[in-house]
Amino acid sequence: MLAPQGERRIPRSASTLRSAGHAVRKSGGGKAGEEIRGSHRPEGESPVLRSKEVHVMRRSYASALHRVLDPMGFKRSGDDWVRVRGDMWECVNRQSSRLGGVTVNLLMKDLETEKLFLSIFGPAGALQMPPIDTRLGALIDGYDRWWKREEVNGPSEMAEAVVQYGLPWFDRVRTLEQQAENWFGRRTALSERGYHGPSLVGLALTLHRMGEGEEACEVLRKPVPKTAIPANIERVARVRRWLGCNA
């Protein structure tokens, strides 16, 4: 992955981030991304009571998020709070799990670059350009962070962390030059051994918008390793044809 440390690419919309039966270990219990599996609950605990507690927990955390995000121009849709500033789509996503509690994902993409992406891949089906994303805990201390339902101050602490650590993340990368370097690894794209289709495509389209057509084609002509995923090879080839790099 060519995004900065703590940031990930996801090939899904923000609304599909919620986990179904898997949680991620909270701060202090392991590095971000470490999964906790299982469905055990304390002996004698009622599933109905458990369901009601989760519902109350989600509502409390959602209300706390809404109180701080609504004045900042974010509009809520389900578990997503979205705003657009300039060409940038910014999303704060609440992810909840019966095992893990509640956490926050932050997602961002350039809408003008997405227009190019859709003009190339749109006819192939209902596709969305993968956004850049990170977890709130990764921004706080490098560890994942899940707030539990029994934490009395959990909703307010989570909302404060979003304001202190989450919202400034949206200001780290704004220009096309910053996107090329920080999101898509411009300096190492050709020297790195991997062949990550979404990153190569994103970098090439960003360079194209910058007026760096020759560099964009150079990225798309990167030698294909034997281990490359066929879908990634096809994605890169499609963009290469669209930019006229094969001519």
Same domain, 218 and 233: yes
Long-range CB contacts (< 8 A, 24+ apart) of 29-33?
30/143, 30/144, 31/142, 31/143, 31/144, 32/6, 32/135, 32/137, 32/138, 32/142, 32/143, 32/144, 33/144
The pLDDT of residue 13: 40
pTM for this entry: 0.74
Tell me if 140 is assigned to some domain. Answer: yes
- Claim to verify: residue 50 and residue 135 sit in the same structural domain: yes
SS3 129: coil
Same domain, 191 and 81: no
**pLDDT tens for the chain, residues 1 to 247:** 334 444 544 333 454 433 333 333 333 344 443 333 333 344 444 443 344 444 445 568 999 999 999 999 999 999 999 999 999 999 999 999 888 799 999 999 999 999 999 999 987 655 678 899 999 999 999 999 999 888 889 999 999 999 999 999 999 999 999 999 999 999 999 999 889 999 999 999 999 999 999 999 999 999 999 999 999 999 999 999 999 997 5
Q: Per the structure, how many domains does the chain have?
A: 2
Q: Residue 126: its pLDDT value, please?
A: 57
Amino acid 33: pLDDT:
38
Which residue range is the domain that position 225 belongs to?
Answer: 176-242
Q: According to the model, what pLDDT value does residue 122 have?
A: 84
